[in-house]
């Protein structure tokens, strides 16, 4: 887990607020989503508003018509991504916790996105195996944000459900610098380091990682495109 015992640096939070106030505007749907999540007791581990907008912008840059998300929680990032879809677009989001999935479906319906979004309940590695066996895909963009020990498995599944040019984004790959701890016994750190090792050896991916600070403290995204580096 990204430790949340300490508060983020106040300057990071202030700049995050500045960015949100200037560029994001009021968003009653996303505010209602966060309120519903809190009322339902969901953990406060959604992407931040500015990160949600980043996902939205990346999906539009990619021209994504089919999006796969692994880790729904209450659907905050789901809504940010689904709003990027054109008419006829589809988003599939995978969630293991039926309570989270129920809250997400309600939030997605309130966002008037239910027709384009399919929240599937179950252990994502199993759902992904079924999707691969059924020949689902290719997806244009995959957002991986579930249990961190499974990230190598999720990246392999994302590749199986991809085409050349697919965008793959993984959340929480810096973990307040925890990624540097080669002797960590935290399965989340071990999983994150295994992901970097796998991506570094994977000729089908061109990747980088971007560190972020803000209301969600110090963390980062891995950003990849399916296709060799040129």
Q: Which residues bind ligand DHB (CB under 6 A)?
A: 1-2, 45, 145, 171-172
User: Please, which residue, 150 or 172, has the CB nearer to ligand DHB?
Assistant: 172
Is there binding between residue 96 and ligand SAH (CB under 6 A)? Answer: yes
What minimum distance in Å lies between the beta carbon of 4 and ligand DHB? 8
Q: Which two tokens stand for residue 100?
A: 């989270």
Residues numbered 160-179 forming contacts with Mg ion, rule: CB under 5 A: 171-172
As a whole number of Å, the end-to-end CA separation of the chain is 35
Taking the C-alpha atoms of residue 114 and residue 134, their distance in angstroms, rounded to an integer, is: 23
User: Can you list the alpha helix ranges (DSSP code H) found in the chain?
Assistant: 10-19, 28-39, 49-61, 76-82, 98-110, 124-133, 151-160, 187-200
Q: Which two tokens stand for residue 110?
A: 């309130």
Tokens coding 112:
């008037």
Our CB check for ligand DHB shows the closer of 43 and 86 to be: 43
Among residues 138, 141, 140, 97, which one has the least CA distance to residue 119? 97
Of 27, 58, 67, 77, the residue at the interface with ligand SAH (CB under 6 A) is 77
CA angle 72, 169, 108 (to 5 degrees): 25
Q: Which is nearer to Mg ion, 167 or 172 (CB)?
A: 172
27 binds ligand SAH (CB under 6 A): no
CB closer to ligand SAH out of 136 and 147: 147
Is the CB of 66 or the CB of 217 nearer to Mg ion?
217
Residue numbers 105-164 binding ligand SAH by CB under 6 A: 123-124, 145-147, 150
User: What is the Cα–Cα distance from 205 to 63, expressed in whole angstroms?
Assistant: 19
Q: Cβ of 122: how many Cβ atoms within 10 Å?
A: 14
CB of 191 to ligand SAH, least distance (A): 11
Residues binding ligand SAH (CB under 6 A): 45-47, 71-73, 76-77, 94-97, 100, 123-124, 145-147, 150
């Amino acid at each position: 887990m990204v430790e949340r015992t300490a508060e983020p640096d106040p300057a990071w939070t202030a700049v995050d607020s500045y960015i949100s106030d200037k560029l994001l505007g009021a968003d009653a749907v996303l505010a209602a989503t966060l309120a519903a999540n809190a009322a339902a007791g969901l953990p406060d581990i959604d992407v931040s508003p500015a990160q949600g907008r980043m996902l939205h912008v990346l999906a539009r840059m990619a021209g994504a018509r089919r999006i796969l998300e692994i880790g729904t929680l209450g659907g905050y990032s789901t809504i940010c991504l689904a709003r990027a879809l054109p008419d006829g677009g589809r988003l599939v989001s995978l969630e293991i916790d039926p309570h989270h999935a129920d809250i997400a479906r309600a939030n997605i319906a309130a966002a008037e996105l239910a027709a384009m979004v399919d929240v599937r309940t179950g252990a994502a590695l199993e759902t992904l195996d079924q999707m691969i066996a059924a020949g689902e895909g290719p997806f244009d963009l995959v957002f991986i944000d579930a249990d961190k020990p499974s990230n190598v498995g999720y990246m392999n599944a994302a590749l199986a459900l991809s085409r050349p040019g697919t965008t793959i984004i993984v959340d929480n790959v810096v973990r307040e610098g925890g990624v540097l701890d080669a002797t960590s016994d935290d399965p989340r750190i071990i999983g994150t380091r295994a992901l970097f090792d796998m991506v570094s050896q994977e000729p089908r991916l061109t990747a980088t990682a971007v560190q972020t600070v803000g209301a969600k403290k110090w963390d980062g995204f891995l950003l990849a495109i399916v296709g060799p580096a040129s």
